[in-house]
Structure 1
């Protein structure tokens, strides 16, 4: 098989795109974790030093997906005030 300059350019473009995609995924993962942490921290401030239960963590993960309404429902079901739940869920997907 003979490699032409056009094939070489195409392969280089594909490899560059792959590298950018993988690098972008690696850069986004820590940001997503920080957003969930911000949501949990918001709730823990209301608890005043207590550690958030698993139900809060799960609700914040739901908020991370962009489903703010279900995030608020999950947090308020766990005893978080509506005002705190709304703010916490708002910061989750950012």
Structure 2
């Protein structure tokens, strides 16, 4: 195989790999945003407090129980809303 062909193949593979990673990243963030939006709808007070963001990131990392506990103990989020919000986080 010629060197130029080999280099072209490596660059194509690298481009596809990096492009796939870039397309995956926004989806992960959207899940956390959906969690925060769910809580903001209940609170109706504008932007969610920091404890909501932290709880949603906890849920995104896979700790559903920790997410629900953080939201309900943080102040003012009902168990139903916390459960629903944490389900959309991961």
Query: 2: distance between equivalents of 1:11 and 1:36?
Result: 39
Match of 2:57 in 1: 61
Match of 1:89 in 2: 86
Query: 2: distance between equivalents of 1:25 and 1:88?
Result: 26
- Give a deviation string over 1:5-28, Cα, whole Å, max 9, x none: 187766555433322221111111
Query: 2: distance between equivalents of 1:10 and 1:66?
Result: 41
Query: 1: distance between equivalents of 2:44 and 2:63?
Result: 26
Query: 2: distance between equivalents of 1:9 and 1:70?
Result: 52
TM-score w.r.t. the length of structure 2 is 0.81
- Give a deviation string over 1:48-86, Cα, whole Å, max 9, x none: 233211010011111112221111111112121111111
Structure 2 stretches lacking a partner, 5+ long: none
Q: 2:13 aligns with which of 17, 20, 37?
A: 17
The reply to whether residue 72 of structure 1 matches residue 80 of structure 2 is: no
Moved more, 38-47 or 20-29: 20-29
RMSD, aligned α-carbons? 1.9
Rg larger for: 1
